[in-house]
Structure 1
Amino acid sequence: MYNVAIVGSTGNVGRKFLEILEERNFPIKNLYLFASQRSAGSYLEFKGQKYIVENTCEENIKNKKIDIALFSAGGDTSLKFAPIFSSYGAVVIDNSSAWRMDKNVPLVVSEVNPEDLKNHNGIIANPNCSTIQAMVPLKALLDKYGIKRVVYSTYQAVSGAGMQGIADLEDGLNGVAPKKFPYPIAGNCLPHIDVFLDNGYTKEEEKMINETRKILHDENLRITATTVRVPVLNSHSESINVELNNPFEIEDIFTLFENTPGLTVYDNVSELKYPTPLEVSGKDDVYVGRIRRDFSIDNGLNLWVVADNIRKGAALNAVQIAEVLINNNWL
Protein backbone atom coordinates (compact mmCIF):
# COMPACT_ATOMS: atom_id res chain seq x y z
CA MET A 1 0.00 0.00 0.00
CA TYR A 2 1.26 3.46 -0.89
CA ASN A 3 0.89 7.04 0.29
CA VAL A 4 -0.43 8.98 -2.70
CA ALA A 5 -0.69 12.73 -3.23
CA ILE A 6 -2.64 14.58 -5.90
CA VAL A 7 -1.43 18.11 -6.63
CA GLY A 8 -4.02 20.19 -8.46
CA SER A 9 -6.71 17.93 -7.07
CA THR A 10 -9.65 20.29 -7.65
CA GLY A 11 -9.12 20.71 -11.41
CA ASN A 12 -10.51 18.61 -14.28
CA VAL A 13 -7.56 16.21 -14.33
CA GLY A 14 -7.20 16.15 -10.55
CA ARG A 15 -10.78 14.97 -10.16
CA LYS A 16 -10.24 12.43 -12.94
CA PHE A 17 -7.21 11.11 -10.99
CA LEU A 18 -9.52 10.36 -8.08
CA GLU A 19 -12.08 8.66 -10.30
CA ILE A 20 -9.50 6.43 -12.00
CA LEU A 21 -7.65 5.54 -8.79
CA GLU A 22 -10.97 4.33 -7.37
CA GLU A 23 -11.98 2.45 -10.52
CA ARG A 24 -8.65 0.63 -10.70
CA ASN A 25 -8.56 -0.05 -6.95
CA PHE A 26 -5.11 1.50 -6.71
CA PRO A 27 -3.30 0.32 -3.55
CA ILE A 28 -3.58 3.48 -1.45
CA LYS A 29 -2.64 3.58 2.22
CA ASN A 30 -3.06 7.32 2.74
CA LEU A 31 -4.40 9.86 0.25
CA TYR A 32 -3.37 13.52 0.37
CA LEU A 33 -4.99 16.23 -1.73
CA PHE A 34 -3.25 19.49 -2.60
CA ALA A 35 -4.28 22.59 -4.53
CA SER A 36 -3.73 26.33 -4.48
CA GLN A 37 -4.41 28.46 -1.41
CA ARG A 38 -7.69 29.46 -3.06
CA SER A 39 -9.02 25.88 -2.93
CA ALA A 40 -7.47 24.88 0.38
CA GLY A 41 -10.03 23.89 2.99
CA SER A 42 -12.50 22.46 0.50
CA TYR A 43 -13.32 18.75 0.42
CA LEU A 44 -13.29 16.06 -2.26
CA GLU A 45 -14.74 12.57 -2.02
CA PHE A 46 -12.86 9.32 -2.62
CA LYS A 47 -14.39 5.88 -2.02
CA GLY A 48 -17.21 7.39 -0.02
CA GLN A 49 -14.92 9.33 2.29
CA LYS A 50 -14.32 13.07 2.31
CA TYR A 51 -10.75 14.39 2.17
CA ILE A 52 -9.68 17.93 2.91
CA VAL A 53 -7.73 19.82 0.26
CA GLU A 54 -4.49 21.32 1.62
CA ASN A 55 -2.47 24.25 0.38
CA THR A 56 0.53 23.18 -1.69
CA CYS A 57 3.48 24.21 0.44
CA GLU A 58 6.56 22.49 1.82
CA GLU A 59 5.27 22.59 5.37
CA ASN A 60 2.30 20.41 4.34
CA ILE A 61 4.49 18.00 2.35
CA LYS A 62 7.53 17.18 4.42
CA ASN A 63 6.10 14.88 7.11
CA LYS A 64 3.70 12.78 5.05
CA LYS A 65 6.13 10.18 3.62
CA ILE A 66 4.48 10.38 0.21
CA ASP A 67 5.43 7.59 -2.22
CA ILE A 68 3.71 8.82 -5.41
CA ALA A 69 2.64 12.36 -6.28
CA LEU A 70 0.35 12.88 -9.28
CA PHE A 71 0.65 16.45 -10.54
CA SER A 72 -1.78 18.44 -12.67
CA ALA A 73 -1.38 21.98 -11.44
CA GLY A 74 0.39 23.83 -14.24
CA GLY A 75 4.01 24.26 -15.21
CA ASP A 76 5.03 26.86 -12.63
CA THR A 77 3.71 24.75 -9.76
CA SER A 78 5.46 21.68 -11.15
CA LEU A 79 8.79 23.45 -11.54
CA LYS A 80 8.63 24.68 -7.95
CA PHE A 81 7.12 21.71 -6.12
CA ALA A 82 8.10 18.57 -8.05
CA PRO A 83 11.70 18.80 -6.74
CA ILE A 84 10.38 19.40 -3.22
CA PHE A 85 8.15 16.31 -3.29
CA SER A 86 11.01 14.32 -4.79
CA SER A 87 13.43 15.50 -2.10
CA TYR A 88 11.12 14.01 0.53
CA GLY A 89 11.07 10.63 -1.21
CA ALA A 90 8.09 10.85 -3.55
CA VAL A 91 8.12 9.88 -7.21
CA VAL A 92 6.41 12.70 -9.09
CA ILE A 93 4.38 11.97 -12.22
CA ASP A 94 3.78 15.38 -13.76
CA ASN A 95 1.08 16.25 -16.27
CA SER A 96 2.40 19.70 -17.23
CA SER A 97 4.91 20.56 -19.94
CA ALA A 98 7.48 21.68 -17.36
CA TRP A 99 9.71 18.59 -17.37
CA ARG A 100 8.90 16.85 -20.66
CA MET A 101 11.96 17.89 -22.61
CA ASP A 102 14.41 17.64 -19.71
CA LYS A 103 16.96 15.04 -20.80
CA ASN A 104 17.07 13.64 -17.25
CA VAL A 105 13.30 13.11 -17.03
CA PRO A 106 11.57 10.14 -18.70
CA LEU A 107 8.64 11.04 -20.97
CA VAL A 108 6.41 8.00 -21.01
CA VAL A 109 3.28 6.50 -22.54
CA SER A 110 2.59 3.37 -20.50
CA GLU A 111 2.06 1.01 -23.47
CA VAL A 112 4.82 2.52 -25.61
CA ASN A 113 8.06 3.07 -23.67
CA PRO A 114 7.61 1.81 -20.08
CA GLU A 115 11.25 0.72 -19.99
CA ASP A 116 12.26 4.41 -19.87
CA LEU A 117 10.88 4.53 -16.32
CA LYS A 118 13.58 2.26 -14.97
CA ASN A 119 16.18 4.99 -14.50
CA HIS A 120 14.00 7.87 -13.31
CA ASN A 121 15.42 10.40 -10.86
CA GLY A 122 12.22 11.05 -8.93
CA ILE A 123 10.36 13.02 -11.60
CA ILE A 124 8.50 11.50 -14.58
CA ALA A 125 6.72 13.48 -17.28
CA ASN A 126 3.32 12.64 -18.71
CA PRO A 127 3.25 13.66 -22.41
CA ASN A 128 0.88 16.15 -23.99
CA CYS A 129 -2.62 14.70 -24.42
CA SER A 130 -2.51 14.91 -28.21
CA THR A 131 0.90 13.22 -28.26
CA ILE A 132 -0.15 10.34 -26.00
CA GLN A 133 -2.92 9.07 -28.25
CA ALA A 134 -0.76 9.27 -31.38
CA MET A 135 2.05 7.24 -29.82
CA VAL A 136 0.07 4.04 -29.36
CA PRO A 137 -0.48 3.28 -33.08
CA LEU A 138 2.75 4.95 -34.21
CA LYS A 139 4.96 2.82 -31.94
CA ALA A 140 3.38 -0.35 -33.37
CA LEU A 141 4.07 0.91 -36.91
CA LEU A 142 7.61 1.97 -36.03
CA ASP A 143 8.51 -1.43 -34.61
CA LYS A 144 7.22 -3.36 -37.63
CA TYR A 145 7.79 -1.08 -40.62
CA GLY A 146 9.91 1.87 -39.55
CA ILE A 147 8.67 5.46 -39.94
CA LYS A 148 10.03 8.03 -42.38
CA ARG A 149 7.64 10.95 -41.83
CA VAL A 150 4.55 11.92 -39.82
CA VAL A 151 1.97 14.64 -40.53
CA TYR A 152 -0.38 15.51 -37.66
CA SER A 153 -3.66 17.40 -38.01
CA THR A 154 -5.55 17.58 -34.72
CA TYR A 155 -9.12 18.44 -33.77
CA GLN A 156 -8.90 19.14 -30.05
CA ALA A 157 -11.75 19.42 -27.56
CA VAL A 158 -12.29 22.43 -25.33
CA SER A 159 -11.80 20.34 -22.17
CA GLY A 160 -8.11 20.40 -23.07
CA ALA A 161 -8.18 24.10 -22.20
CA GLY A 162 -9.57 23.44 -18.72
CA MET A 163 -12.70 24.74 -17.04
CA GLN A 164 -12.45 28.06 -18.89
CA GLY A 165 -12.39 26.32 -22.25
CA ILE A 166 -15.53 24.37 -21.39
CA ALA A 167 -17.19 27.58 -20.16
CA ASP A 168 -16.35 29.38 -23.42
CA LEU A 169 -18.11 26.70 -25.45
CA GLU A 170 -21.16 26.62 -23.19
CA ASP A 171 -21.34 30.43 -23.01
CA GLY A 172 -20.80 30.78 -26.75
CA LEU A 173 -23.81 28.60 -27.49
CA ASN A 174 -25.81 31.27 -25.64
CA GLY A 175 -24.17 34.17 -27.45
CA VAL A 176 -21.80 35.15 -24.64
CA ALA A 177 -18.36 36.45 -25.68
CA PRO A 178 -15.35 34.17 -24.99
CA LYS A 179 -13.02 34.69 -22.03
CA LYS A 180 -10.44 31.94 -22.65
CA PHE A 181 -10.14 31.84 -26.44
CA PRO A 182 -9.37 34.82 -28.70
CA TYR A 183 -12.44 34.11 -30.85
CA PRO A 184 -15.76 32.36 -30.24
CA ILE A 185 -15.35 28.56 -30.22
CA ALA A 186 -19.04 27.72 -30.59
CA GLY A 187 -19.64 26.97 -34.27
CA ASN A 188 -16.01 27.72 -35.02
CA CYS A 189 -12.53 26.18 -35.43
CA LEU A 190 -9.40 27.88 -34.13
CA PRO A 191 -6.05 26.83 -35.67
CA HIS A 192 -4.31 28.14 -32.56
CA ILE A 193 -3.50 26.11 -29.43
CA ASP A 194 -1.04 27.63 -26.96
CA VAL A 195 1.15 30.58 -27.98
CA PHE A 196 2.65 31.28 -31.39
CA LEU A 197 6.39 30.86 -31.83
CA ASP A 198 8.78 32.83 -34.02
CA ASN A 199 8.76 30.09 -36.67
CA GLY A 200 4.98 30.37 -37.18
CA TYR A 201 4.14 27.15 -35.35
CA THR A 202 2.23 27.12 -32.06
CA LYS A 203 3.73 25.73 -28.88
CA GLU A 204 1.23 22.85 -28.99
CA GLU A 205 2.48 21.90 -32.45
CA GLU A 206 6.08 22.06 -31.30
CA LYS A 207 5.20 19.91 -28.28
CA MET A 208 3.82 17.17 -30.50
CA ILE A 209 6.89 17.23 -32.74
CA ASN A 210 9.49 17.23 -29.97
CA GLU A 211 7.68 14.81 -27.67
CA THR A 212 7.14 12.29 -30.47
CA ARG A 213 10.86 12.28 -31.21
CA LYS A 214 11.76 11.83 -27.54
CA ILE A 215 9.26 9.02 -26.87
CA LEU A 216 10.16 7.12 -30.05
CA HIS A 217 13.90 7.73 -29.48
CA ASP A 218 14.50 9.29 -32.88
CA GLU A 219 15.65 12.92 -32.81
CA ASN A 220 15.78 13.03 -36.61
CA LEU A 221 12.26 11.78 -37.30
CA ARG A 222 10.55 14.10 -39.79
CA ILE A 223 7.30 15.45 -38.31
CA THR A 224 5.00 18.38 -38.92
CA ALA A 225 1.80 19.35 -37.13
CA THR A 226 -1.24 21.63 -37.28
CA THR A 227 -3.30 21.69 -34.08
CA VAL A 228 -6.86 23.01 -34.08
CA ARG A 229 -9.34 23.70 -31.29
CA VAL A 230 -12.86 22.60 -32.25
CA PRO A 231 -16.29 23.03 -30.60
CA VAL A 232 -16.29 19.56 -29.05
CA LEU A 233 -16.64 19.16 -25.29
CA ASN A 234 -14.32 16.18 -24.73
CA SER A 235 -11.98 13.79 -26.59
CA HIS A 236 -9.35 14.79 -29.13
CA SER A 237 -9.38 13.56 -32.73
CA GLU A 238 -6.36 13.36 -35.01
CA SER A 239 -5.77 12.75 -38.68
CA ILE A 240 -2.33 11.13 -38.87
CA ASN A 241 -0.55 10.64 -42.19
CA VAL A 242 2.42 8.30 -41.92
CA GLU A 243 5.09 7.50 -44.48
CA LEU A 244 6.59 4.12 -43.57
CA ASN A 245 10.06 2.88 -44.46
CA ASN A 246 8.86 -0.48 -45.73
CA PRO A 247 5.95 -1.77 -47.85
CA PHE A 248 2.83 -3.09 -46.14
CA GLU A 249 -0.46 -4.82 -46.82
CA ILE A 250 -3.44 -2.95 -45.42
CA GLU A 251 -4.82 -6.18 -43.91
CA ASP A 252 -1.59 -6.53 -41.93
CA ILE A 253 -2.03 -3.02 -40.50
CA PHE A 254 -5.45 -4.01 -39.16
CA THR A 255 -4.01 -7.17 -37.62
CA LEU A 256 -1.11 -5.25 -36.09
CA PHE A 257 -3.42 -2.70 -34.47
CA GLU A 258 -5.85 -5.36 -33.27
CA ASN A 259 -2.95 -6.91 -31.34
CA THR A 260 -1.62 -3.64 -29.91
CA PRO A 261 -2.34 -3.15 -26.17
CA GLY A 262 -4.29 0.01 -25.41
CA LEU A 263 -5.56 0.34 -28.99
CA THR A 264 -9.08 -0.45 -30.22
CA VAL A 265 -9.70 -0.79 -33.95
CA TYR A 266 -13.11 0.70 -34.77
CA ASP A 267 -13.23 0.66 -38.54
CA ASN A 268 -15.89 -0.69 -40.86
CA VAL A 269 -16.94 1.83 -43.47
CA SER A 270 -19.72 -0.40 -44.84
CA GLU A 271 -21.37 -0.09 -41.42
CA LEU A 272 -20.27 3.56 -40.96
CA LYS A 273 -18.06 2.54 -38.04
CA TYR A 274 -15.30 5.00 -37.20
CA PRO A 275 -14.27 6.63 -33.91
CA THR A 276 -15.94 9.88 -32.84
CA PRO A 277 -15.39 12.03 -29.73
CA LEU A 278 -18.81 11.16 -28.35
CA GLU A 279 -18.23 7.44 -28.89
CA VAL A 280 -14.79 7.44 -27.26
CA SER A 281 -15.39 9.83 -24.34
CA GLY A 282 -15.04 7.92 -21.07
CA LYS A 283 -13.10 5.04 -22.66
CA ASP A 284 -9.62 3.93 -21.58
CA ASP A 285 -8.28 2.88 -24.98
CA VAL A 286 -7.08 4.91 -27.93
CA TYR A 287 -9.42 4.27 -30.89
CA VAL A 288 -8.28 4.07 -34.50
CA GLY A 289 -10.34 4.00 -37.69
CA ARG A 290 -10.42 5.18 -41.33
CA ILE A 291 -7.31 3.02 -41.81
CA ARG A 292 -6.37 3.34 -45.48
CA ARG A 293 -3.47 3.61 -47.84
CA ASP A 294 -2.20 7.02 -48.94
CA PHE A 295 -1.81 6.50 -52.69
CA SER A 296 0.05 9.80 -53.17
CA ILE A 297 3.34 8.45 -51.76
CA ASP A 298 5.13 5.13 -51.44
CA ASN A 299 4.29 3.28 -48.22
CA GLY A 300 1.82 5.97 -47.15
CA LEU A 301 -0.89 5.37 -44.55
CA ASN A 302 -3.80 7.46 -43.23
CA LEU A 303 -5.25 7.00 -39.73
CA TRP A 304 -8.06 8.63 -37.72
CA VAL A 305 -7.19 8.44 -34.02
CA VAL A 306 -9.51 9.47 -31.16
CA ALA A 307 -9.04 9.34 -27.39
CA ASP A 308 -10.49 10.87 -24.25
CA ASN A 309 -7.99 13.66 -23.60
CA ILE A 310 -8.74 14.02 -19.89
CA ARG A 311 -8.72 10.27 -19.34
CA LYS A 312 -6.09 8.53 -21.49
CA GLY A 313 -4.55 11.85 -22.51
CA ALA A 314 -3.83 12.84 -18.92
CA ALA A 315 -5.04 11.11 -15.75
CA LEU A 316 -5.16 7.47 -16.84
CA ASN A 317 -1.72 7.46 -18.43
CA ALA A 318 -0.24 8.93 -15.23
CA VAL A 319 -1.92 6.26 -13.09
CA GLN A 320 -0.76 3.56 -15.52
CA ILE A 321 2.80 4.88 -15.15
CA ALA A 322 2.44 4.55 -11.37
CA GLU A 323 1.22 0.97 -11.82
CA VAL A 324 4.25 0.14 -13.99
CA LEU A 325 6.55 1.57 -11.31
CA ILE A 326 4.90 -0.54 -8.62
CA ASN A 327 4.76 -3.75 -10.67
CA ASN A 328 8.45 -3.51 -11.53
CA ASN A 329 9.66 -2.25 -8.15
CA TRP A 330 10.94 0.93 -9.78
CA LEU A 331 9.61 3.41 -7.22
Structure 2
Amino acid sequence: MPEVLVHARGLTKRFGSFTAVDGIDFDLYRGEAFGFLGPNGAGKSSTMRMIGCVSPPTQGELTIFGADPVRDGAAIRARLGVVPQDDTLDVELTVRENLLVYGRYFGLPRAVIRERTAQLLDFVQLIDRAGDMVDLLSGGMKRRLTIARSLINDPDILILDEPTTGLDPQARHVVWDRLFRLKQRGVTLILTTHYMDEAEQLCDRLVVMDHGTFAAEGSPRELITRYCSREVLELRFGPDRHELAADKLRDFPAERAEVLADRILLYVTDGDDALAAVRSTGLEPLTSLVRRGTLEDVFLRLTGRRLED
Protein backbone atom coordinates (compact mmCIF):
# COMPACT_ATOMS: atom_id res chain seq x y z
CA MET A 1 0.00 0.00 0.00
CA PRO A 2 1.27 3.53 -0.76
CA GLU A 3 2.34 5.61 2.21
CA VAL A 4 -0.35 7.91 3.61
CA LEU A 5 1.08 11.39 4.23
CA VAL A 6 -2.14 13.24 5.09
CA HIS A 7 -5.05 11.57 6.87
CA ALA A 8 -8.34 13.36 7.58
CA ARG A 9 -11.59 12.11 9.06
CA GLY A 10 -14.53 14.36 9.84
CA LEU A 11 -12.31 17.39 9.24
CA THR A 12 -14.25 20.56 10.08
CA LYS A 13 -13.44 24.26 10.10
CA ARG A 14 -15.81 26.87 11.48
CA PHE A 15 -15.55 30.64 11.67
CA GLY A 16 -18.12 31.64 14.25
CA SER A 17 -21.46 30.30 13.04
CA PHE A 18 -20.17 29.76 9.49
CA THR A 19 -18.95 26.24 8.58
CA ALA A 20 -16.28 26.52 5.88
CA VAL A 21 -15.32 22.82 5.86
CA ASP A 22 -17.98 20.35 6.91
CA GLY A 23 -16.73 16.94 8.04
CA ILE A 24 -14.65 15.78 5.05
CA ASP A 25 -12.65 12.52 4.84
CA PHE A 26 -9.58 11.96 2.67
CA ASP A 27 -6.13 10.36 2.51
CA LEU A 28 -3.25 11.77 0.45
CA TYR A 29 -0.46 9.44 -0.63
CA ARG A 30 3.25 9.87 -1.26
CA GLY A 31 4.08 10.75 -4.86
CA GLU A 32 0.56 11.59 -6.05
CA ALA A 33 -0.90 14.85 -7.30
CA PHE A 34 -4.20 15.67 -5.58
CA GLY A 35 -6.42 18.56 -6.61
CA PHE A 36 -9.13 20.57 -4.89
CA LEU A 37 -11.64 22.11 -7.31
CA GLY A 38 -14.60 24.26 -6.43
CA PRO A 39 -16.17 27.71 -6.65
CA ASN A 40 -15.08 30.56 -4.43
CA GLY A 41 -16.20 29.90 -0.88
CA ALA A 42 -16.39 26.13 -1.32
CA GLY A 43 -13.83 25.44 1.44
CA LYS A 44 -10.72 24.78 -0.65
CA SER A 45 -8.51 27.44 0.90
CA SER A 46 -9.63 26.60 4.43
CA THR A 47 -8.73 22.96 3.82
CA MET A 48 -5.34 23.86 2.36
CA ARG A 49 -4.57 26.15 5.31
CA MET A 50 -5.29 23.31 7.74
CA ILE A 51 -2.98 21.01 5.77
CA GLY A 52 -0.38 23.77 5.76
CA CYS A 53 -0.53 23.97 9.58
CA VAL A 54 -1.46 27.65 9.62
CA SER A 55 -5.12 27.19 10.64
CA PRO A 56 -6.12 24.66 13.32
CA PRO A 57 -9.10 22.35 12.69
CA THR A 58 -12.24 23.10 14.66
CA GLN A 59 -13.21 19.45 14.84
CA GLY A 60 -12.27 16.05 13.45
CA GLU A 61 -9.03 14.17 12.93
CA LEU A 62 -6.06 15.43 10.90
CA THR A 63 -2.57 13.97 10.85
CA ILE A 64 0.31 14.94 8.55
CA PHE A 65 3.31 12.61 8.39
CA GLY A 66 1.56 10.84 11.27
CA ALA A 67 1.86 13.95 13.47
CA ASP A 68 -0.64 16.40 14.95
CA PRO A 69 -0.54 19.73 13.05
CA VAL A 70 -1.50 21.69 16.18
CA ARG A 71 1.09 20.16 18.51
CA ASP A 72 3.80 19.47 15.90
CA GLY A 73 3.13 22.30 13.43
CA ALA A 74 6.70 23.58 13.25
CA ALA A 75 8.16 20.14 12.53
CA ILE A 76 5.52 19.48 9.86
CA ARG A 77 6.00 22.88 8.17
CA ALA A 78 9.71 22.13 7.86
CA ARG A 79 8.74 19.29 5.49
CA LEU A 80 6.27 21.35 3.45
CA GLY A 81 6.77 23.62 0.46
CA VAL A 82 4.17 26.29 -0.26
CA VAL A 83 3.52 28.11 -3.54
CA PRO A 84 1.00 30.89 -2.77
CA GLN A 85 -1.41 32.23 -5.37
CA ASP A 86 0.42 35.58 -5.50
CA ASP A 87 4.19 35.66 -5.86
CA THR A 88 5.79 37.03 -2.68
CA LEU A 89 9.33 37.35 -3.97
CA ASP A 90 11.69 39.99 -2.59
CA VAL A 91 12.08 42.43 -5.48
CA GLU A 92 15.06 44.11 -3.82
CA LEU A 93 17.09 40.91 -4.10
CA THR A 94 18.45 39.03 -7.09
CA VAL A 95 17.03 35.73 -8.29
CA ARG A 96 19.80 33.80 -6.51
CA GLU A 97 19.52 35.84 -3.32
CA ASN A 98 15.80 35.07 -3.03
CA LEU A 99 16.67 31.40 -2.61
CA LEU A 100 19.72 31.96 -0.42
CA VAL A 101 17.81 34.12 2.06
CA TYR A 102 14.75 31.85 2.11
CA GLY A 103 16.90 28.82 2.85
CA ARG A 104 18.12 30.46 6.05
CA TYR A 105 14.56 30.44 7.43
CA PHE A 106 14.85 26.65 7.66
CA GLY A 107 18.19 26.76 9.47
CA LEU A 108 19.99 25.00 6.64
CA PRO A 109 23.80 25.20 6.45
CA ARG A 110 25.03 27.84 4.01
CA ALA A 111 26.86 25.25 1.89
CA VAL A 112 23.67 23.20 1.52
CA ILE A 113 21.67 26.30 0.58
CA ARG A 114 24.21 27.32 -2.08
CA GLU A 115 24.23 23.83 -3.58
CA ARG A 116 20.44 23.55 -3.64
CA THR A 117 20.07 27.06 -5.03
CA ALA A 118 22.22 26.19 -8.04
CA GLN A 119 20.36 22.91 -8.57
CA LEU A 120 16.94 24.51 -8.28
CA LEU A 121 17.70 27.43 -10.58
CA ASP A 122 18.87 24.91 -13.16
CA PHE A 123 15.72 22.83 -12.57
CA VAL A 124 13.39 25.79 -13.25
CA GLN A 125 15.55 27.04 -16.15
CA LEU A 126 16.65 30.28 -14.49
CA ILE A 127 20.35 29.62 -13.99
CA ASP A 128 21.25 32.23 -16.63
CA ARG A 129 19.13 34.83 -14.79
CA ALA A 130 20.59 34.13 -11.33
CA GLY A 131 22.19 37.59 -11.01
CA ASP A 132 19.17 39.54 -12.29
CA MET A 133 16.82 41.51 -10.09
CA VAL A 134 13.37 39.93 -9.72
CA ASP A 135 11.61 42.91 -11.36
CA LEU A 136 13.32 42.06 -14.64
CA LEU A 137 11.65 38.63 -14.84
CA SER A 138 8.51 37.81 -16.80
CA GLY A 139 5.43 36.51 -15.01
CA GLY A 140 6.25 32.93 -15.96
CA MET A 141 9.83 33.29 -14.72
CA LYS A 142 8.63 34.72 -11.39
CA ARG A 143 6.29 31.76 -11.00
CA ARG A 144 9.11 29.31 -11.65
CA LEU A 145 11.29 31.17 -9.15
CA THR A 146 8.51 30.94 -6.54
CA ILE A 147 8.35 27.18 -7.13
CA ALA A 148 12.15 26.90 -6.82
CA ARG A 149 12.05 28.86 -3.55
CA SER A 150 9.37 26.52 -2.16
CA LEU A 151 11.68 23.56 -2.81
CA ILE A 152 14.75 24.91 -0.98
CA ASN A 153 13.99 22.76 2.10
CA ASP A 154 13.55 19.60 -0.04
CA PRO A 155 9.88 19.15 1.00
CA ASP A 156 7.92 15.91 0.97
CA ILE A 157 4.69 17.78 0.16
CA LEU A 158 4.33 20.79 -2.13
CA ILE A 159 1.16 22.84 -1.64
CA LEU A 160 0.23 24.97 -4.66
CA ASP A 161 -2.55 27.56 -4.74
CA GLU A 162 -3.50 28.37 -8.35
CA PRO A 163 0.03 27.66 -9.63
CA THR A 164 -0.39 29.09 -13.17
CA THR A 165 -2.98 31.85 -12.79
CA GLY A 166 -2.22 34.75 -15.13
CA LEU A 167 0.40 32.91 -17.20
CA ASP A 168 0.33 32.59 -20.97
CA PRO A 169 -0.10 29.07 -22.43
CA GLN A 170 3.61 28.55 -23.10
CA ALA A 171 4.60 29.54 -19.55
CA ARG A 172 1.85 27.32 -18.12
CA HIS A 173 3.22 24.30 -19.98
CA VAL A 174 6.74 24.96 -18.67
CA VAL A 175 5.38 25.05 -15.10
CA TRP A 176 3.37 21.87 -15.73
CA ASP A 177 6.51 20.10 -16.95
CA ARG A 178 8.43 21.05 -13.80
CA LEU A 179 5.60 19.95 -11.52
CA PHE A 180 5.31 16.64 -13.38
CA ARG A 181 9.04 16.06 -12.89
CA LEU A 182 8.69 16.74 -9.17
CA LYS A 183 5.91 14.16 -8.96
CA GLN A 184 8.14 11.64 -10.72
CA ARG A 185 10.75 12.26 -8.01
CA GLY A 186 8.22 11.28 -5.34
CA VAL A 187 7.10 14.75 -4.20
CA THR A 188 3.41 14.83 -3.28
CA LEU A 189 1.55 17.72 -4.92
CA ILE A 190 -1.59 19.25 -3.41
CA LEU A 191 -3.11 21.99 -5.53
CA THR A 192 -6.10 24.16 -6.19
CA THR A 193 -6.76 25.37 -9.71
CA HIS A 194 -9.41 27.12 -11.76
CA TYR A 195 -8.06 25.60 -14.99
CA MET A 196 -9.78 22.34 -15.91
CA ASP A 197 -7.08 21.37 -18.40
CA GLU A 198 -4.51 21.88 -15.64
CA ALA A 199 -6.39 19.54 -13.33
CA GLU A 200 -6.59 16.91 -16.08
CA GLN A 201 -2.88 17.27 -16.86
CA LEU A 202 -1.51 17.22 -13.31
CA CYS A 203 -3.91 15.44 -10.96
CA ASP A 204 -3.97 11.71 -10.29
CA ARG A 205 -7.03 12.28 -8.09
CA LEU A 206 -9.18 15.26 -7.31
CA VAL A 207 -12.26 16.33 -5.41
CA VAL A 208 -14.95 18.81 -6.35
CA MET A 209 -15.84 20.81 -3.24
CA ASP A 210 -19.07 22.72 -2.76
CA HIS A 211 -20.46 24.28 0.43
CA GLY A 212 -17.67 22.75 2.52
CA THR A 213 -18.21 19.13 1.45
CA PHE A 214 -17.03 16.80 -1.32
CA ALA A 215 -19.50 16.64 -4.20
CA ALA A 216 -17.37 14.02 -6.01
CA GLU A 217 -13.97 12.35 -5.84
CA GLY A 218 -11.92 10.32 -8.31
CA SER A 219 -9.42 10.55 -11.15
CA PRO A 220 -10.19 13.08 -13.90
CA ARG A 221 -11.15 10.30 -16.31
CA GLU A 222 -13.34 8.56 -13.72
CA LEU A 223 -15.25 11.76 -12.99
CA ILE A 224 -15.77 12.54 -16.67
CA THR A 225 -17.03 9.01 -17.34
CA ARG A 226 -19.29 9.06 -14.28
CA TYR A 227 -20.85 12.48 -14.66
CA CYS A 228 -20.68 13.39 -18.34
CA SER A 229 -21.93 12.07 -21.68
CA ARG A 230 -19.56 10.81 -24.35
CA GLU A 231 -19.91 13.99 -26.42
CA VAL A 232 -21.09 17.55 -25.89
CA LEU A 233 -22.73 19.75 -28.52
CA GLU A 234 -22.09 23.47 -27.98
CA LEU A 235 -24.52 25.80 -29.74
CA ARG A 236 -24.32 29.57 -30.00
CA PHE A 237 -27.18 31.73 -31.21
CA GLY A 238 -27.51 35.47 -31.70
CA PRO A 239 -28.48 37.49 -28.61
CA ASP A 240 -32.00 37.94 -29.99
CA ARG A 241 -32.39 34.17 -30.55
CA HIS A 242 -30.69 32.73 -27.46
CA GLU A 243 -33.73 32.57 -25.17
CA LEU A 244 -36.00 31.37 -27.97
CA ALA A 245 -33.54 28.56 -28.80
CA ALA A 246 -33.25 27.62 -25.13
CA ASP A 247 -37.05 27.32 -24.84
CA LYS A 248 -37.28 25.30 -28.04
CA LEU A 249 -34.54 22.89 -26.90
CA ARG A 250 -35.91 22.48 -23.37
CA ASP A 251 -37.40 19.06 -24.22
CA PHE A 252 -34.65 18.02 -26.64
CA PRO A 253 -33.76 14.31 -26.22
CA ALA A 254 -30.36 14.78 -24.59
CA GLU A 255 -28.92 13.26 -21.42
CA ARG A 256 -28.75 16.78 -20.03
CA ALA A 257 -28.81 20.40 -21.20
CA GLU A 258 -27.10 23.47 -19.75
CA VAL A 259 -28.20 26.96 -20.77
CA LEU A 260 -25.32 29.39 -20.17
CA ALA A 261 -25.24 33.12 -20.79
CA ASP A 262 -23.49 32.75 -24.14
CA ARG A 263 -24.25 29.23 -25.34
CA ILE A 264 -26.32 26.09 -24.91
CA LEU A 265 -24.70 22.75 -24.09
CA LEU A 266 -26.37 19.47 -25.05
CA TYR A 267 -24.91 16.31 -23.48
CA VAL A 268 -25.40 13.51 -25.99
CA THR A 269 -23.96 10.24 -27.26
CA ASP A 270 -23.44 11.45 -30.83
CA GLY A 271 -22.90 15.18 -31.36
CA ASP A 272 -23.27 15.15 -35.14
CA ASP A 273 -26.60 13.35 -34.95
CA ALA A 274 -27.75 15.79 -32.27
CA LEU A 275 -26.80 18.77 -34.44
CA ALA A 276 -28.83 17.37 -37.35
CA ALA A 277 -31.78 16.92 -34.98
CA VAL A 278 -31.47 20.52 -33.77
CA ARG A 279 -31.51 21.81 -37.34
CA SER A 280 -34.56 19.68 -38.10
CA THR A 281 -36.50 21.76 -35.55
CA GLY A 282 -35.86 24.87 -37.62
CA LEU A 283 -33.06 26.24 -35.44
CA GLU A 284 -29.80 27.27 -37.11
CA PRO A 285 -27.00 28.13 -34.67
CA LEU A 286 -24.45 30.80 -35.48
CA THR A 287 -21.73 28.33 -34.48
CA SER A 288 -21.67 24.72 -33.35
CA LEU A 289 -18.98 22.55 -31.82
CA VAL A 290 -18.92 18.82 -31.07
CA ARG A 291 -16.36 17.90 -28.42
CA ARG A 292 -15.63 15.32 -25.74
CA GLY A 293 -16.81 15.76 -22.18
CA THR A 294 -14.43 17.63 -19.85
CA LEU A 295 -13.98 18.33 -16.16
CA GLU A 296 -15.71 21.68 -16.65
CA ASP A 297 -18.84 19.78 -17.70
CA VAL A 298 -18.53 17.68 -14.54
CA PHE A 299 -18.22 20.85 -12.50
CA LEU A 300 -21.31 22.39 -14.09
CA ARG A 301 -23.34 19.29 -13.33
CA LEU A 302 -22.20 19.03 -9.70
CA THR A 303 -22.32 22.68 -8.70
CA GLY A 304 -24.40 24.44 -11.34
CA ARG A 305 -21.73 27.15 -11.55
CA ARG A 306 -18.63 27.89 -13.54
CA LEU A 307 -15.38 28.01 -11.59
CA GLU A 308 -14.90 31.72 -12.15
CA ASP A 309 -18.33 32.60 -10.69
Question: Normalising by structure 2, what TM-score?
Answer: 0.25
Q: With CA pairs under 8 Å and 6+ residues apart, which has the higher RCO, 1 or 2?
A: 2
Q: Which has the larger radius of gyration?
A: 2
